[in-house]
Chain A
Amino acid sequence: MSEKKPTGKVLVAGAGISGIKAAIELAETGYQVLLTDASTQVGGILAKLDYQFPTDHCGMCRMLPMVGREYSSEYCMRKSLYHENIEILPFTEVVNIEGDAGNYKVELKKKARYVNPDVCNELGKCIEACPVEVDDEFNHGLTKRKAIYKSVPHNVPQLLLIDKQSCTECGECVNVCSTNAIDLNAQDEVESREVHSIILASGIKLYNLRDFEDAKSYAVSPDVVSSLAFERMLSGTGTYEDGMIKRPSDGKPAKKIAWIQCMGSRNRRQNRDYCSSVCCMFALKEAVLAKEKGGPDVETTIFYMDMRTFGKNFQRYKENAVEEHGVKLIRCRVQEVIRKPDGTLQVRYFDPLTNEFFFEYYDLVVLSTGQAPFEDHKKWAGLIHTDLDPAGLLTTEPYSKVKLAGKDGLFMCGSLMGLTDISEAMSSGIAAAGEATNFLTSLDVSRKFGDDTPEPKTNDRSAPKVAVLVCQCGEFAGAEGLDTKLLETELRKVKDVEAVHIVESMCSAEGEQEALEALKKSGCNRLLIGACQPYMYRRKLKDVARKAGFNSSLVQVFDILGVSRRGLHEDDKTAWTRRAIKEIKSDIASMKEKPALHVQSQPINETALVIGGGISGMQSALSLANRGIPVHLVEKSAELGGFAGNSIASTIDGLAPMEMAKDMKLRVFEHKKIDVHLNAQVEQTEGTLGSFESKIVYNGNGEETKPIYLHHGATIMATGGHEGKTDEYGYGQADNIMTQFEFKQGLESGEIDLSETENVVMIQCVGSREKGKREYCSRICCMWAMANALKIKEKNPDTRVFVLYRDVMTYGFLEQYYTKARLAGVIFVSYDLENRPEVEIVEGKPVVKFTESVLDRPLEVSPEYLILSTGVDPEPSNKDIAETFKVDLNRDGFFMEADSKWRPVEFQQMGTFLSGVAHSPMPLPDVIMQAEAAAQKTFTYLSGGEIQTARVTSSVKDALCVRCQRCIVVCPFEARSYNEMEHRIDIDPSACQGCGMCAVACRNNAAEVSGWSDRQLMSVIDEKLSDDIELSTT
């Protein structure tokens, strides 16, 4: 990497979670990112959700970097996000894109906020003064806000803005603003930037009840709300302070709540022939939370058509909601909602099982609103000069969900692909970053790590000398009652404080210069800066400190305007000064005990090991090898390709897995960077991220039978799966009872002739979604059934095809195939576990008995073919691999990722990744997306030849350690291990996250986290408990 090359630059347009993830991944890889969002804040829809399925918790912070912690924020992402390589531009729209691959010129419109965030002190006097009140969009109109307001409750800094639409220009806010931050005449600014690549991540718009005609018969009262609005009712920062769930109309507690599914979605007549994929889980989660928050007497009912619990562990979540929480599910079509005079809502529905109308009363009705048609696609298509497909969507390259068709260097991720859940948003964000990285490595650009200003050399052993720098924020602090004189006098009295300097304004160039001079002269080695909005200025302040010769770890910024005033009563004038002195003193106390901490770089082996030679494994291998990473590809069978690549010729969405695999195999075998090991298995492995050693054994009759040892820096598990087996419904007892796959093969080979066929019966969910069997949805069987059913109808339109199903899982755009099948005359009949179809073998032929639901009459059919959807099983070899690599499997035998939402392609074990069906059953494009994501994560860690470990990591004092190994057990990141040879505890500093669990568990004070030593904490406790200084005379 020569110095001259420019750093690769990527625009990520859209700062919802998938955009953020893509940005973080690229930043970690060393590229510069411009992250824009049209709205006022980052976080997208997630900023509104306190709890997310399928864990009912948050955990968003788990998407932050784990290895390069040093360069990013380490606090709750609801506050804000920071990364040295990411420039965040909220409230900014992309208005023009020119140029082509590798050389894009984008025009960004920065919308006017009318409040200058650089000088605003966030005290909110203006908000109090503003006389205008309007509905608050953040809470979906359930609360009010002013015309000048903060758009999100938790952001730090607060970033106020004025909504010019409702502003009356009365100027009250301008009058009360003491820092002249408000400019009512501010204008939008257009700025042009150059980037090499662009990732579109602008998400989707949700269906809005007011915008659509078909919502009219439901949204009849303020007590009928959208699911996102309900989310705000549940939130801690939401609409009701006491967290109670109430009726918006009169504030009475809502005890009976109903959800109506598919609002706006699955509506062919309205040209919305798609399923919004996440609403079923969303409703289930909301119903569970409503019960948890509202108490056991809250009743929750979900009216649905199909419960689409197709994701990993979703089925179990549903069962738990019904069995443990008593959430009621009613399969029906809701006709209308009627508001009764007392405000209760009557829900009228048609029960297809009994053919009768029913009605039930509720206090609150939540409409599960899905995605609205794709306006953003139109906008982007215009900007990048491309055509949309007939459904109005941006087209992608075949097999790829993220690569835009015919547009090198342009990608998309997240809900722009169609509404996604969190795990998919994460995978797609990482995959898009991966594709962008792939593209950037083909250009002549470089990557950048670390800071511009080098870390100064410091003498770590010298006695602590503390300098304190306090910014007065112009006139402001004084005017508001902070007595900086007193602050100065008091701080000078503190032991080891050698210099106290009050700067008028650090934000100004003179202020910065003044601070720099003063610091250089001070001769101190520790620095405490009291300034406003440290989150915003962290980088700048750190740079000043570095220039003055301070080690970054010994510089602390203290939020003097914010934190020190937090929670104080406004009328107590001296309280602020007292608090500030106290807080600064305790920071000093901690800092004096703190040693200088350094970033260490750790050499790593660049080679990757991929286990599994199916499509997923080959995709990861090729992707890495193309970027110059040497790969060992280990496959247990004699052939590459896996289940899909060797036996599936076509899929319903027009893909040809076998053909694709054939081409991939060629490329894999030809690639100089890929070593293929067939008939091989990993028998043993040892090591940590960057340096693993694995023993490969060969089991075939090939010549190469001696085991070999491979050295590699990371591992990807891509073990795949295969069609499940069954002995239900007479399988094995008659020739014409077969699985969907067997039938498909028969059709393709021509062995099955349908010309005389009168009846075909398909039974879905065989041995699936049932306790004690496959307890999950296999995701692809419904599509296979649709494909086979449509094929039958195509070959012989007179054949009657019955599909006996429990829930049709045609989520997303797959819905169109369901519609197609129904239009083609395929008969769909639902059954449930209590009332399942029966199969009898009469004279060697099956007879199927089931209840036809529309007319509610028993039917008996003797089909020429009985086809069973038997689902997908994980590879049995997963068990051994899991043991070898010390990773976990879930109850179903699939690998268990580090976090089901936020880290879908990683294991908790650093340097170990997973992708494809090894994770869970999924369609081919998702497999490829995950494979790409796993490759990207691997690339990020391996490609530098070394990794930088964080400053704050744990250590062990060998002399004190009694080798009890308790720290190994408690470490949640498996960063500690026992070194038998050396008889000591080893720590993997790249895995360690500095949580300090080991330090608490250690009985001998041998384990410690640098920067969080007992001594530091103890002196802080001392300081916090010391008496307040008396300032009563002032």
Chain B
Amino acid sequence: MSEFEPKIVSFFCNWCTFTAADLAGTSRLSYPPNIKIIRVMCSGMVDPKYVLKAFLNGADGVLIGGCWPGDCHYINGNLKARRRVALLTELLSQYGIGPDRLWLRWIAASEGTMLKEVADEMTAKLKELGPSPLNKTAAKVA
């Protein structure tokens, strides 16, 4: 049996974190393909429904990447994201999706290395945790 490969839906803000991903690319840093990047304009644009949808559709983890506090192009979108993620984490835990599956990270445009580290770390963590409980049930039903 091949190793479990978690699927991590990653919402990256257009200004900072997405640039960091570009930078990682041009700096020839490789990060696991488990990270599936979706560009959004701001981390504050990530609607809780997107996160829920991702988990319902089979994501094992969701990573939201935004600018550092104070850096958000839209002034405070990242702070709104932070508040939202705190609430979401609680909500998700009621469905058995632990806090380790939803990550919010500040990654500035120049932090390509950090992007790689976060991607590696989250992939490793999810490999350790195994598939999302929603995926397990889905597998059982099928």
Interfacial residues, chain A to chain B (CB-CB below 8 A):
50, 55-59, 61-62, 74-76, 78-79, 122, 124, 150, 153-154, 156, 158, 235-237, 241, 243, 562-563, 565-569, 575, 579, 586, 908, 970, 972-973, 993-997, 999-1000, 1009, 1012, 1014, 1017-1018, 1020-1022, 1024-1025
A579 to B32, CA, bound (A): 12
Extra A-B contacts (5), CB below 8 Å, given A236-B110, A562-B22, A997-B44: A55-B70, A122-B26, A154-B23, A996-B44, A1024-B38
B127 proximal to A (CB < 8 A): no
CB-based contact B45/A237 at 8 Å = no
B21 proximal to A (CB < 8 A): yes
B93 proximal to A (CB < 8 A): no
B136 proximal to A (CB < 8 A): no
CB-based contact A996/B42 at 8 Å = yes
B99 to chain A, nearest CB (A): 21
A631 to chain B, nearest CB (A): 30
B77 proximal to A (CB < 8 A): yes
CB-based contact A236/B113 at 8 Å = yes
- Closest residue of chain A to B28, judged by CB? A124
B27 proximal to A (CB < 8 A): yes
B54 proximal to A (CB < 8 A): yes
Q: CB-CB < 8 A to B50: which residues of A?
A: 1017-1018, 1021
Question: A994-B41, A1000-B45 known; A1025 and B59 CB under 8 Å?
Answer: yes
CB-based contact B29/A997 at 8 Å = no
Contact mask for chain B residues 43-67; partner A; CB cutoff 8 A; 1 contact, 0 none: 0111111100110011100000000
CB-based contact A58/B109 at 8 Å = yes
B103 proximal to A (CB < 8 A): no
Interfacial residues, chain B to chain A (CB-CB below 8 A):
7, 9, 14-16, 18-33, 35-36, 38, 40-42, 44-50, 53-54, 57-59, 68-71, 73-77, 80, 84, 108-114, 116, 119
A1021 to B40, CA, bound (A): 12
Q: List 10 A-B contacts (CB under 8 A).
A: A58-B71, A78-B19, A124-B28, A153-B112, A235-B110, A236-B112, A237-B110, A567-B31, A1014-B47, A1024-B36
A919 to chain B, nearest CB (A): 19
Q: Contacting B108 at CB < 8 Å: which of A58, A79, A1020?
A: A58
Question: A55-B70, A1014-B47 known; A76 and B109 CB under 8 Å?
Answer: yes
A565 to chain B, nearest CB (A): 7
CB-based contact A50/B110 at 8 Å = yes
B19 to chain A, nearest CB (A): 4
A586 to B57, CA, bound (A): 15
- Closest residue of chain B to A583, judged by CB? B37
Q: Contacting A995 at CB < 8 Å: which of B58, B77, B111?
A: B77
A569 to B21, CA, bound (A): 15
Q: Which 5 A-B pairs rank lowest in CB-CB distance, beginning with the nearest? A: A566-B25, A996-B45, A236-B111, A995-B74, A236-B110
Q: CB-CB < 8 A to A1024: which residues of B?
A: 9, 36, 38
Q: CB-CB < 8 A to B75: which residues of A?
A: 908, 972-973
Question: A569-B30, A1021-B9, A1025-B9 known; A1014 and B108 CB under 8 Å?
Answer: no
A122 to B69, CA, bound (A): 33
CB-based contact A1000/B58 at 8 Å = no
A973 to B74, CA, bound (A): 8
CB-based contact A997/B22 at 8 Å = no
CB-based contact A997/B59 at 8 Å = no
Question: A993-B74, A1000-B44 known; A237 and B112 CB under 8 Å?
Answer: yes
CB-based contact A566/B21 at 8 Å = yes
Question: A78-B110, A999-B47 known; A1021 and B15 CB under 8 Å?
Answer: no
Q: Contacting A567 at CB < 8 Å: which of B24, B54, B73, B113?
A: B24
Q: Contacting B54 at CB < 8 Å: which of A565, A972, A1025?
A: A1025
A1025 to B42, CA, bound (A): 21
CB-based contact B41/A1000 at 8 Å = no
A842 to B45, CA, bound (A): 69
CB-based contact B15/A61 at 8 Å = yes
Q: Contacting B109 at CB < 8 Å: which of A150, A154, A996, A999?
A: A154
